[in-house]
Structure 1
Amino acid sequence: MRIVKDHFAATSGAQEVEYQVLLPADPREGERLPLVLHLHGAMSSSRSLELARPHYEELFREGEFPRAVIACPSTPTEGGFYLDWPDGGGAWETLISAEFPGHLAKTYGPFTGTALIGASMGGFGGLNVAFGDPERFAAVAAISPAVFPGETPQDVPEKNLPSVLGELHRAMGHGTGDAAAYTRNSVYGRARANAERIRRAALPILVDCGAADEFLLHEGAAYLHDVLKELAIPHEFRLVEGAGHVGPAAETRTKEAIRFIGAALRRRA
């Protein structure tokens, strides 16, 4: 597989967005491929795709991942978070869900389908985008997603809001604790609002988290698991004993999440 590095002038984010694309090494004229949006975590960049490249390549060689266009844009953490901000503050969810795929389609499309995979902040973004428009996506896999054990600004314990997670928590409520905005920007709020659509779309969903996550994200992942069960939304939930937010187990779990996406795309082929 080969990596292409590029950038484009995004109107949604109102700035130049750098991105990387992982492609089959042997392009075939007229071939239509699925698109995989690989969303990086906080304080990261499109280099996340370079780090994951060996997993994609290994699974492709083993026949467990199809020929695909895999793309990762660099997006900001604070002031980004894969959210659309009010008052012209940037529309990063719109960029991920619409503008960036549209830009890629001009060169690599049209696509046969689109899947989402992300870790931490990227897991939050992937779930939010997929639950907001479930019919559009072939699958979503979230590794250690940045979700909280509560559904309103007041419900989330302070211990679950260290550092950048506290910034995300405030950003979901537009920095003012706006409960309606918080719900609109919440994975739970979208799951509840669109439960019937998600079920009808038969969206393949993976939620994976280490049971020893240093940022207590396993508590949010377990809460999400319970909400999805309550809503009768089929999904796969993996809570990996002894695993933290990073480390060797996280690498293995990333590979398994890519395998999950690959299986979903192969079923659609």
Structure 2
Amino acid sequence: MQRIEHRACFGGWQDVYRHRSEVLGCEMNFAVYLPPQAAGGAKLPVLYWLSGLTCTEQNFITKAGAQRYAAEHGLIIVAPDTSPRGDDVADADGYDLGKGAGFYLNATRQPWAKHYRMYDYIVDELPALLEANFPASTARSISGHSMGGHGALSIALKNPGRYRSVSAFSPIVAPTQVPWGEKAFSNYLGGDREAWKQYDTVELVASASEKLPLLVDQGDADEFLDGQLKPQLLQAACEAAAHPLTLRMQPGYDHSYYFIASFIGDHLRHHAQALRGKAAAR
């Protein structure tokens, strides 16, 4: 690993590291906020943040204002990039496929399968790296925005016991039923729609073995609300499966980081309570 950014922030450090990912077969950046409590030597719980389409590790750390709350609660925040990167990594025209649009899945169709394994990177490789090199405990939570909200919810549901809490802003809850997901899944996974369901939150809720409560904030002025996000599908699925969901429709808010910054403190408190209050995750 190489540290490429190191900035004092709310008594702690906002760093960015570059490393060689064996899973993705390329160099990757990830951001890590170490709160002031990290200087004491104790292992601290970790919140993984997954960003949305077109983002890198920079968007969340520069726009969300989460460091203030992470310092207050003693949480490490890890924000990876949203896709593999590099000259030899497959890409496509448009913002919703290829670089910046990894969708937090393991691609099975060429040319994507060679590098696009963001699911394995987020679930296995990155936590192993963090827990081996930083004062990071195995107490983990996960959150994200838009494509990253899809990633956070689906990853938490697919890995019972691994995360103590999960939340999302403006998530793509049913990617198999909306244009963003249909484009990405058909390219990354091929034409078998049954294979798509393993990365669809609405589908996963129906058979989830762990009733991990879902916290979702959604702006009612979001420009993608009706066409791409459809939170009512998640609400219906959770009601049918008796899965705990807190869906907060926030009046006047759109899809931007102004929305995230307005409610990130609530989410950090939600995760801090869960991370401090349960037995160790596997």
Could you tell me which amino acid in structure 2 is paired with residue 102 of structure 1?
A: A
Answer whether contact 2:69 2:268 (CA < 8 A) is retained. Answer: no
Q: Which residue of 2 aligns with 1:78?
A: 97
> Aligned partners of 1:19, 1:59: CA distance in 2, in Å?
17
> Aligned partners of 1:119, 1:6: CA distance in 2, in Å?
22
Structure having the higher strand fraction is 2
Answer whether contact 2:75 2:272 (CA < 8 A) is retained. Answer: no
Residue 72 (structure 1) shift: 0.8
> Aligned partners of 1:177, 1:204: CA distance in 2, in Å?
32
TM-score w.r.t. the length of structure 1 is 0.83
> Aligned partners of 2:225, 2:37: CA distance in 1, in Å?
43
Residue ranges of structure 1 left out of the alignment (5+ in a row)? none
Is 1:25 the counterpart of 2:47 in the alignment? no
Pair 102,56 (structure 1): closer, same or farther in 2 beyond 3 Å:
same
Report sequence identity in percent: 26
TM-score w.r.t. the length of structure 2 is 0.79
Residue ranges of structure 2 left out of the alignment (5+ in a row)? 1-11, 84-95
Is 1:226 the counterpart of 2:236 in the alignment? yes
Is 1:88 the counterpart of 2:114 in the alignment? yes
Q: Which residue of 2 aligns with 1:262?
A: 272
> Aligned partners of 1:182, 1:58: CA distance in 2, in Å?
36
SS at match of 1:198: coil
Residue 26 (structure 1) shift: 4.9
Could you tell me which amino acid in structure 1 is paired with residue 155 of structure 2?
A: V
**Where does 1:1-269 land on structure 2 (aligned, <5 Å)?**
1-52=12-63, 54-58=65-69, 60-61=71-72, 66-76=73-83, 78-79=97-98, 80-86=102-108, 87-109=113-135, 111-148=137-174, 153=176, 156=177, 160-161=178-179, 165=180, 168-173=181-186, 174=188, 176-193=190-207, 195=208, 197-199=209-211, 203-216=212-225, 220-246=230-256, 248-268=258-278
Segment drifting more, 234-243 vs 173-182: 173-182
SS at match of 2:38: coil
Residue 109 (structure 1) shift: 4.4
Could you tell me which amino acid in structure 2 is paired with residue 198 of structure 1?
A: E
> Aligned partners of 1:49, 1:248: CA distance in 2, in Å?
11
> Aligned partners of 1:89, 1:59: CA distance in 2, in Å?
32
Segment drifting more, 96-105 vs 258-267: 258-267
> Aligned partners of 2:213, 2:151: CA distance in 1, in Å?
16
> Aligned partners of 2:215, 2:66: CA distance in 1, in Å?
17
SS at match of 2:18: strand
- Two-structure CA RMSD over aligned residues (Å): 2.3
> Aligned partners of 1:91, 1:98: CA distance in 2, in Å?
11
Could you tell me which amino acid in structure 2 is paired with residue 133 of structure 1?
A: N
Segment drifting more, 42-51 vs 138-147: 42-51
> Aligned partners of 2:235, 2:31: CA distance in 1, in Å?
32
Could you tell me which amino acid in structure 2 is paired with residue 254 of structure 1?
A: I
> Aligned partners of 1:250, 1:106: CA distance in 2, in Å?
30
Segment drifting more, 250-259 vs 111-120: 250-259
Residue 262 (structure 1) shift: 2.1
Answer whether contact 1:49 1:71 (CA < 8 A) is retained. Answer: no
Deviations 1:9-62 (A, max 9, x none): 11221111101100023534541111110111110111133225633314644x
